Structure 1
């Protein structure tokens, strides 16, 4: 997991590849998008604006897409664990597997307005937003450095 203090830091460290440039465009476009509607760039990037209703009950592990969370307002706690046990089967349809953290391996990161978190595919996460949270949830392919069909 990597926490970025602002979008300028994301640009400095990750911009210059199509997938991250498109991810930054999606974050900027989210301020004009309604909450809950999903958008995509092929199958390489999906994103949607989320709010406090996005509270998750399970830790979720993904295999094909990195999870990126950008906080527009309020705050969101993100529970993270690299050491997990499966609770259910992996679904190739939605790239999700519910897992539980191995005792003592879960950490919590809190981000506030302007901050961004990039979660690696070997990390399971659970979002716990504050009541005033407004943000963007992106799923960005881990395959290659670009969006070759775009």
Structure 2
């Protein structure tokens, strides 16, 4: 898991690839988003706004085809994380949802605060602690190094 403290830090670190620039484009569009509605930009990014009570998850979640980014706007949430290799598989990978679930012990925890971005790469799984009210943007970025040639 990568923790960034601002969108500016994200821009500086991930400025050289179209799919990361699309993330900034999506974040800049946040004022036009309705909670729970999925949007996409090109073939490399799907995103949505979460503005509600956030439930606690019982297991760890991991992805294979997408990197998941949580951009926190208000509220806070504690996230437990661990390398997938240190966890036990609870449910097999689903190609339809790009999710796999795990059980085990966290190797780290972080309480996300407004302005931070948490980036969950494919080697790690995460578990969310929940929150009474949370406003965040969830972005799913494809792991492929390039987009389709016609996009």
Q: Give the structure-2-normalised TM-score.
A: 0.88
Corresponding residue pairs, total:
147
Shift in alpha-carbon separation, 1:80–1:31, aligned structure 2, 3 A: farther
Structure 1 alignment gaps of length 5 or more = none
Query: How many angstroms apart in 2 are the aligned matches of 1:71 and 1:34?
Result: 16
Moved over 6 A (4+): none
Q: Which residue of 2 aligns with 1:85?
A: 88
Deviations 1:39-64 (A, max 9, x none): 12344211100134342332111111
Structure 1 segment 65-104 matched on structure 2, within 5 A: 65-82=66-83, 83-101=86-104, 103=105
Q: Which residue of 1 aligns with 2:140?
A: 139
Structure 1 segment 1-150 matched on structure 2, within 5 A: 1-55=1-55, 56-82=57-83, 83-101=86-104, 103=105, 105-144=106-145, 146-148=146-148, 149-150=150-151
Structural RMSD (CA): 1.6
Higher strand share: 2
Q: Give the structure-1-normalised TM-score.
A: 0.89
